[in-house]
Homo-oligomer: A and B are copies of this chain.
Amino acid sequence: MVSIKDIAKSLGVSTATVSKALNNKIGVSKEIRLRVLNKAKELGYITNNLARGMKTSKTFTIGVLISDITNPFFSEVILSMERVLYAKKYNLIICNVGENSEREREYLELLVSKKVDGIIAAPTADGQNMSVYRNLIRHGMKIVLFDRLISKIETDFVVIDNKAAIYDVVRYLAKMGHRKIGVIYGIESSYTGCERLKGFREAVKDLGLESHEEWIKSGYFMESESHKCALDILKEKERPTAMIATNDFTTLGIMRAAKEIGLKIPRDLSVIGFDDLEWMSIYSPPITTISQPTDVIGMSAATLLLDRIENNDTRRPRHVILKATLIERESVSKIQTRNV
């Protein structure tokens, strides 16, 4: 590999000069700068970012910690982050940790050892590594949390108003005449799981809908588990007229269960999905769903982090709270309310 030393030698100048020329710093004559630049190209010089990182303690690398890249929600968010970060020459190290907090801890340490300039993370559900995050922050690591939160951590984050999202959906269903509503929620210990469930319970209570604990089950944000739960709920004699999903895997699980039992949507069962995936709009019927603004989430998180890094912004934590929107399609039926 060719280094600035090689350029310096072959030009008979010092490495200091070469460095200045290459980095567009002042203190080099136009002529020499040009000769350096040409020689660099000629020799095929490529900066060694390890060495540069050692001196400048800046690596232009951002760690991104998520549970699963295979989940379209995360992959869309990441694409959006990359768009803004790439424009500023930053790279992403992606860490899939599943729901494994041990792995989360390991990856976090790895990111530190690689001297990333910052971390964007959707922490694991159990919040096991709260102290790790806190420690990192105390040591000056810039961290932006998204999707999931760890309470009592003083740092920037961007989330959607999960409670309101589900609350609104229940209200929408009530407006459509539904009084028996079931939900497959996620991991109760997780921020999103908990908030979404809360929104459901509150709405059911506020709106005076029928309340059946057996219609509220945890699918652990997984398709298989959600499928099982949905089956349990829908096979009962007295079953809800509408089901709400709380992430894209639970949507799939509910749909599969309905199909297996032979429930026609929306005639026999209304369904509200979560996240707006492309297939939902071409499904028969097209699925009404809750849509998270993945692009805004990714952009916001990246922008917040960039701000901290580049402007060494050290003001108090900023919180971005986004709204999810209901995309009305045709998987919800209108129910004639009999007189109450």
- CB of A110 within 8 A of CB of B91, answer yes
Contact with A283, one of B51, B109, B278, B283 (Cβ below 8 angstroms): B283
A129, CB-defined interface residue at 8 Å: no
Could you say which residues of chain B place their CB within 8 Å of the CB of A53?
A: 50
Q: Which of A46, A53, A92, A114 has the most CB of B within 10 A?
A: A114
For the complex formed, measure the closest distance between the CB of A59 and the CB atoms of chain B, giving whole angstroms: 7
List residues 263-289 of chain A with CB under 8 A from any CB of chain B: 277-279, 281-284
For the complex formed, measure the closest distance between the CB of A280 and the CB atoms of chain B, giving whole angstroms: 8
Could you say which residues of chain B place their CB within 8 Å of the CB of A33?
A: none
A11, CB-defined interface residue at 8 Å: no
- CB of A69 within 8 A of CB of B78, answer yes
For the complex formed, measure the closest distance between the CB of A56 and the CB atoms of chain B, giving whole angstroms: 10
Flag A47-60 by CB within 8 Å of B: 1 or 0 each.
11111011000010
Could you say which residues of chain B place their CB within 8 Å of the CB of A49?
A: 113-115
> How many Å lie between the Cα of A194 and that of B321 in the bound state?
46
A79, CB-defined interface residue at 8 Å: yes
Residue of B nearest to A259 (CB): B282
- CB of A279 within 8 A of CB of B259, answer no
A94, CB-defined interface residue at 8 Å: yes
> How many Å lie between the Cα of A61 and that of B49 in the bound state?
13
- CB of B47 within 8 A of CB of A113, answer yes
A317, CB-defined interface residue at 8 Å: no
- CB of B91 within 8 A of CB of A91, answer no
Given A48-B115, A50-B54, A113-B48, also A79-B72 (CB < 8 A): no
- CB of A46 within 8 A of CB of B94, answer no
